[in-house]
A and B are shown apart, each in its own frame.
Chain A
């Protein structure tokens, strides 16, 4: 359509910019989380994540080094380097940093620019160079406690994997990750097989009441899951399954059926009738036709549903909260984040971000590698 004569190019610039802005808006939240997950607590509270790749200015305080006292004119002189101060050094592991400003009171830590001599009154003066070297001039020996000084220093951008370490080892997130996998994989594979047989029957076998069954499946597509929670949990408890992995497997497998049957039937009905009929003429039984022809030909739809079901069970919070016990050993990641981290760790944003990222990496990976099938599945489900 870009071939049309006399088409204005200004419009296409506007379109480009609009889409760019939309994509930006869409990405910012995720990027923020991603960046924050690599920053420690102090960095997060010191500057916004959007400044993370830049050096940041931070205020530090230290004390004049009393061991360096030498008599000078009208008092004593203390010399040293800010970055060697035991209070400050840990923030600058490589010993490199730049002092932007300094001062002698916590209220105005950056009162004087670096390199300028500051008159502190009562005959005291201080100068801090950009390199961190300082010269304190005091009227009398300060004794054991060196005089306080404050500096504003540029810290280099720092990123760390500590959050991930904490999350995976201490936070129980590692266990939750395994639990999520344990819930997800069986509930992705088993319902597909069940549904594929049913979908074949609904697509290619003739029997009374077929159209009613299809209608019923379509109706069940929209039944709110919430209805099933209380009665089914009660039932599980009565038959002895209780809250357990077995229970959640059964629940997910059943809840996935309407969509699976619907998608697969839509796909199978589109397979060429001739192939199926010629297989029948060749003497294939329904079981053989299903195994040898329908299943291989339906691969795209099977893949599409598998991705759906995987994402859905991986991301599910509701079913996991109800059908799994709430003990620490059986928590899945969504429950862990929603109930534990968001509650107790409310303040530690780095940990939260890392936890969230751990929980979304696998779905994102699946999403970006198998996107094509996912799109195909979505389309099979909604456009006929």
Chain B
């Protein structure tokens, strides 16, 4: 039920330490926006600025068209779920969930109703009278979520809510959050994580933060298929996208690049005649590589190591020149390839071209 607009938002600590600058972002009602980025890139800082827990040192933040830079956190209509749950250890689950409503002087009946509704949604009914220390990690996280639900906020903020859980619980809770979102189509959510699986599965749009700014905003598939820059290309997807240096030799609707390693890559990226001779990096995802059956190949290298994961096999190729080790991902099991040279190629639609770190798709 809320829109957010960030205009040139910046954060400087103590007047000297730049953490974020020029953050521009429009968030529509009902979106689930995920902030991803490497550790320390300012995801939490940005989220906490939206919450009001950190002062915004530059630019404006609007919620529903109102500038809220100087509005205290409690009046912003937001709720926040912390990584460490931040449950009040001396209060029962029920008291934890009703605390904000009591402060807002809601009537007993209203509080009771909101709490029991949230407890029902989150299956917390049996635990309402327990103290947080008597709950498991997953239950605590659900209480933290419940505490935000009862307030019926305009915007939900999550700061790495799953990173204190073990792998199995993380998947289960992730699905719960997805279902929760589905049951509340009008609520706007902002979710911080460094886990790209969470980002890809939950987000309606992902915001990749890097180098003190936004590297790209887009739907998960956008980011996967048409990354705007090398950073996003390598950050999204696992293993990371391979990058090979080369030079454009043929332009047009499709572009042909002669690679420094000797191979040829054709990409479905339009270029102009003037681009001929341009030094570029070609990007191919490991899962898009396949063995070339004669004809052109992108690279020809010896397989150093194979990792059979069952449904796929990862191939680690011998590094060529100063390129990083190239990685391929083939369906099925291919342990026999170890030690043999293999020629690999990819479909033109799957090949990206970057110049100066930026994709030629976006110019």
Contact = CB atoms under 8 A, between A and B. Distances in A.
Q: From A4, A6, A7, name the one whose CB has the most chain B CB atoms within 10 angstroms.
A: A6
B contacts with A: majority SS: loop
A3 interface: yes
A3 B53 CA distance: 7
A6 B53 contact: no
Contacts of B73: 4-6
B307 to A, nearest CB: 34
B55 interface: yes
B75 interface: yes
A6 B70 CA distance: 4
Contacts of A5: 52-56, 68-73
Interface residues of B, number: 12
B54 A6 contact: no
Interface string B41-62: 0000000000011111000000
A contacts with B: majority SS: loop
B52 to A, nearest CB: 4
Contacts of B70: 5-6
Interface in A1-21: 3-7
A5 B72 CA distance: 5
A325 B88 CA distance: 58
A7 B53 contact: no
A5 B71 CA distance: 6
A119 to B, nearest CB: 73
Interface residues of A, number: 5
Nearest to B74: A6
A3 B54 contact: yes
Nearest to A2: B55
Contacts of B54: 3-5
A109 B179 CA distance: 95
A5 B73 CA distance: 7
Contacts, number: 27
A2 to B, nearest CB: 9
A6 B75 CA distance: 10
B77 to A, nearest CB: 14
A353 to B, nearest CB: 46
A87 B233 CA distance: 99
A182 to B, nearest CB: 51
B84 to A, nearest CB: 17
A300 to B, nearest CB: 29
Nearest to B48: A3
Contacts of A7: 72
A102 B69 CA distance: 70
A4 B71 contact: no
Contacts of A3: 53-55
B235 to A, nearest CB: 29
A7 B68 CA distance: 13
A6 B55 CA distance: 8
A94 to B, nearest CB: 54
Interface string A66-94: 00000000000000000000000000000
Nearest to A5: B52
A7 B75 CA distance: 12
A4 B50 CA distance: 11
Q: From A3, A4, A5, name the one whose CB has the most chain B CB atoms within 10 angstroms.
A: A5
Contacts of B69: 5
Nearest to B71: A6
Nearest to A6: B72
Contacts of B55: 3-5
A42 to B, nearest CB: 55
A145 B52 CA distance: 87
B20 to A, nearest CB: 14
Interface in B70-94: 70-73, 75
A7 B52 CA distance: 10
Nearest to A1: B53
Nearest to A8: B72
A4 B75 contact: no
Contacts of B71: 5-6
Nearest to B11: A3
A4 B73 CA distance: 8
A383 to B, nearest CB: 16
A3 B72 CA distance: 11
Interface in B139-168: none
A3 B68 CA distance: 15
Nearest to B54: A3
A361 B75 CA distance: 53
Nearest to B52: A5
A177 B133 CA distance: 55
A181 to B, nearest CB: 48
Interface string A13-49: 0000000000000000000000000000000000000
A6 to B, nearest CB: 4
Interface in B19-42: none
A246 B63 CA distance: 77
A3 to B, nearest CB: 5
A6 B71 CA distance: 5
A7 B71 CA distance: 8
A9 to B, nearest CB: 12
B51 to A, nearest CB: 9
A213 to B, nearest CB: 30
A3 B54 CA distance: 5
Nearest to B76: A5
Contacts of B52: 4-6
Interface of A: 3-7
24 contacts: A3-B54, A3-B55, A4-B52, A4-B53, A4-B54, A4-B55, A4-B72, A4-B73, A5-B52, A5-B53, A5-B54, A5-B55, A5-B56, A5-B68, A5-B69, A5-B71, A5-B73, A6-B52, A6-B70, A6-B71, A6-B72, A6-B73, A6-B75, A7-B72
Given A4-B55, A7-B72, 9 more contacts: A3-B55, A4-B52, A4-B72, A4-B73, A5-B53, A5-B73, A6-B52, A6-B71, A6-B72
Q: Which 4 A-B pairs have the closest CB atoms?
A: A6-B72, A5-B52, A6-B70, A3-B54
